[in-house]
């Protein structure tokens, strides 16, 4: 039991931190520009593919550094030459643009790397056991992922809270026009935030790729969860996105680990009260738990946990 709790907590926090690496950019971008970027998870995917491509040519570490930068560059260019032009035509046009972009990116990935998963592996330097608790081992690579995610988190907070650009970003979250009229180059700040948001998602892809599966459907699988995270946390709230990421990370990991059902808990009465539902295991419903959470939060608090605007 103790080992299940320890490992599920570690994995849940890890999954949550990865979610946050993506959700933070998504929620910042939404709050500033009013754009819900459907292509955000695609940056995660191309991060993984760029990481794979670089790692098989020159090695994992160059990929770890270069791939996120490349993805960030792609993101900044998309903002500068795509979104900014579409912006004049309103939010619907922007939504359609990012929606289309997600499909284009997925098809491009299909074209270059095929539909099957690619062989993106954990680098040998990190391919060992970090520690062993009872009979279960924990891979070092996962500790590395966790450390990277935490480092990025600290980096993000420092930028936002300790620098002048961070101050401008915070103000532009709610009053972009006023910030511009004080003489700050808000369009460039938007491009920067979009680029950094894309780079963070890309970095998440680079480190998650070897641990999970690098395949063209990875963006599509992750996208909906990201939206759940930022809506549950409250659109535009970083604190909210952080807590919602951890919450969903932990809930999903624990749900998979706890392989019990109502039947196991209260015996045969479960079947009489709940019918077939009584014997459904928690692990079986794990995939829908985030959406269940979403519905509950929207009913109880339509603005999300930390949001102050209607979703």
Smallest separation (angstroms) from other proteins to the CB of 185:
5
Q: Which stretch binds other proteins (CB under 8 A): 40-48, 97-105, 160-168, 290-298?
A: 160-168
Q: Does 92 bind other proteins (CB under 8 A)?
A: no
Q: Does 57 bind other proteins (CB under 8 A)?
A: no
145 or 172: whose CB is closer to other proteins? 172
Smallest separation (angstroms) from other proteins to the CB of 71:
28
120 or 306: whose CB is closer to other proteins? 306
Smallest separation (angstroms) from other proteins to the CB of 164:
5
Q: Does 168 bind other proteins (CB under 8 A)?
A: yes
Judged by CB under 8 A, the chain residues 204 through 223 that form the site for other proteins are none
Q: Does 160 bind other proteins (CB under 8 A)?
A: no
85 or 115: whose CB is closer to other proteins? 85
170, 217, 279, 281: residue in contact with other proteins (rule CB under 8 A): 170
Judged by CB under 8 A, the chain residues 178 through 197 that form the site for other proteins are 178-187
91, 115, 162, 175: residue in contact with other proteins (rule CB under 8 A): 175
In our burial notation (b when 16+ CB lie closer than 10 A, e otherwise), range 268-301 reads eebbeeeeeebeebbeeebeebbeebbeebeeee
69, 86, 126, 171: residue in contact with other proteins (rule CB under 8 A): 171
Q: Which residues bind other proteins (CB under 8 A)?
A: 164, 167-168, 170-171, 174-175, 177-187
């Amino acid at each position: 039991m103790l080992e299940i709790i320890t490992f599920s907590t570690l994995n849940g926090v890890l999954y949550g931190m990865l979610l946050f690496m993506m959700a933070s950019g998504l929620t910042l971008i939404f709050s500033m520009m009013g754009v819900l970027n459907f292509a955000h998870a695609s940056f995660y995917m191309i991060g993984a593919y760029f990481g794979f491509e670089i790692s098989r040519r020159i090695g994992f570490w160059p990929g770890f550094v270069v791939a996120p930068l490349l993805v960030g560059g792609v993101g900044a260019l998309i903002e500068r030459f795509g979104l900014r032009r579409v912006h004049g035509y309103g939010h619907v046009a922007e939504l359609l643009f990012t929606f289309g972009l997600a499909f284009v990116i997925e098809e491009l990935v299909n074209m270059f790397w095929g539909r099957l998963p690619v062989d993106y592996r954990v680098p040998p330097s990190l391919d060992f056991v970090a520690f062993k608790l009872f009979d279960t081992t924990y891979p070092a690579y996962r500790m590395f992922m966790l450390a990277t995610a935490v480092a990025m988190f600290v980096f993000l907070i420092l930028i936002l809270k300790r620098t002048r650009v961070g101050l401008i970003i915070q103000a532009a979250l709610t009053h972009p026009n006023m910030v511009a009229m004080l003489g700050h180059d808000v369009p460039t700040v938007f491009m920067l935030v979009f680029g950094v948001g894309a780079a963070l998602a890309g970095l998440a892809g680079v480190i998650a790729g070897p641990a999970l599966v690098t395949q063209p459907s990875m963006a599509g699988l992750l996208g909906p969860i990201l939206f759940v995270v930022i809506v549950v946390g409250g659109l535009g709230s970083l604190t909210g996105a952080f807590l919602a990421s951890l919450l969903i990370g932990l809930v999903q990991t624990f749900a998979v680990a706890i392989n019990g059902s109502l039947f196991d808990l209260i015996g045969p009465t479960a079947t009489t009260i709940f019918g077939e539902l009584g014997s459904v295991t928690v692990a079986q419903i794990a995939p829908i738990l985030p959406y269940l959470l979403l519905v509950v939060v929207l009913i109880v608090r339509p603005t999300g946990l930390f949001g102050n605007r209607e979703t």
